[in-house]
């Protein structure tokens, strides 16, 4: 188990001991309204969902980002179970977005930028099948777009991309304390040392690309 997983399990046990202590979660799936007309959904896994959530929340046109689990074989898995590697789930984010503002293809471009898709079951110090790179498509159009995007992205990497492209069967929202993790705990050690540099780098890229 990584230090990040141990830290989270300790934090989760404290928070879950008293629901009243949970911070307000603007993007908690449990409190989310049904998908609004005109919005679409994407589900992506690129290692630690705290990191990918923080990055995708910066994109114009993205309405919500929910951390959760997908790609496994057990209903309603807990974080502890997912970390054990026995349920087959990956840590993923589910994104609702306005396709008139941002396309699915643009989300995929960000996906390749936000993590290393060439490392099997690992992102940095986080290691395990739950950290695998994975795109879970919602329909045939997303499948085609994902395969095309993966082929194009390969030119950026020296090593082969190992990202899985599979149909989404079920998405399980993660426990409440995982939602908006970076926003709620920006000064926590993992957030300062791992997430903040990624977020700041991505923010610089957005500003540079702005008209």
Alpha helix stretches (DSSP H) within the chain: 3-16, 49-56, 79-84, 104-114, 140-153, 181-184, 189-190, 196-209
Which pLDDT does position 18 carry in this prediction?
35
User: What's 51's domain CATH number?
Assistant: 3.30.1060.10
- How does pLDDT run across 154-193, given as a tens digit for each residue? 999 999 999 999 999 999 999 999 999 999 999 999 999 9
Average pLDDT over residues 113-142: 96
- 149, part of any domain: yes
CA 153 distance to own-chain centroid: 19
- 32, part of any domain: no
Domain that includes residue 47, residue range: 37-209
Which pLDDT does position 3 carry in this prediction?
47
- 164, part of any domain: yes
- 179, part of any domain: yes
Single pTM value for the model: 0.84
Smallest CA-to-CA distance from 38 within 85, 94, 102 is with 102
Q: Report which DSSP code applies to 174.
A: P
Q: Encoding tokens for residue 142?
A: 């997303």
Among the ranges given (14-28, 34-48, 196-210), the one the predictor scored with the smallest mean pLDDT: 14-28
Per the structure, how many domains does the chain have?
1
Q: In what order do the strands lie in the sheet with 171-173?
A: 164-167, 133-137, 40-46, 90-97, 62-70, 171-173
Q: What is the mean pLDDT of the chain?
A: 87
Which pLDDT does position 7 carry in this prediction?
53
Between 99 and 10, the higher pLDDT residue: 99
Supply the residues annotated as catalytic.
48
Which pLDDT does position 38 carry in this prediction?
93
Binned at pLDDT 50, 70 and 90, residue 26 comes out as very low
- 192, part of any domain: yes
- How does pLDDT run across 115-124, given as a tens digit for each residue? 999 999 999 9
- 12, part of any domain: no
Instruction: Tell me the C-alpha distance between 51 and 109, whole Å.
Output: 16
- 3, part of any domain: no
């Amino acid at each position: 188990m990584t230090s990040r997983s141990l830290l989270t399990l300790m934090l989760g046990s404290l928070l879950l001991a008293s629901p009243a202590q949970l911070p307000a979660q603007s993007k908690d799936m449990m409190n989310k309204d049904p998908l609004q007309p005109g919005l679409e959904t994407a589900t992506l896994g690129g290692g630690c969902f705290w990191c990918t959530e923080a990055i995708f929340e910066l994109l114009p046109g993205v309405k919500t980002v929910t951390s959760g689990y997908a790609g496994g074989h057990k209903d309603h898995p807990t974080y502890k179970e997912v970390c054990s590697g026995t349920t087959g789930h990956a840590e993923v984010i589910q994104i609702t977005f306005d396709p008139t503002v941002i396309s699915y293809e643009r989300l995929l471009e960000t996906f390749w930028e936000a993590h290393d898709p060439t490392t099997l079951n690992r992102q940095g110090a986080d290691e395990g099948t739950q950290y695998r790179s994975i795109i879970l498509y919602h329909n045939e159009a997303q499948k085609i777009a994902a395969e095309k995007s993966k082929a194009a992205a390969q030119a950026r990497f020296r090593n082969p991309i190992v990202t899985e492209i599979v149909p989404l069967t079920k998405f399980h929202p993660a426990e409440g304390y995982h939602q908006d993790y970076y926003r709620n705990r920006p000064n926590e050690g993992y957030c300062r040392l791992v997430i903040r540099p990624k977020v700041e780098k991505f923010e610089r890229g957005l500003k540079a690309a702005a008209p």
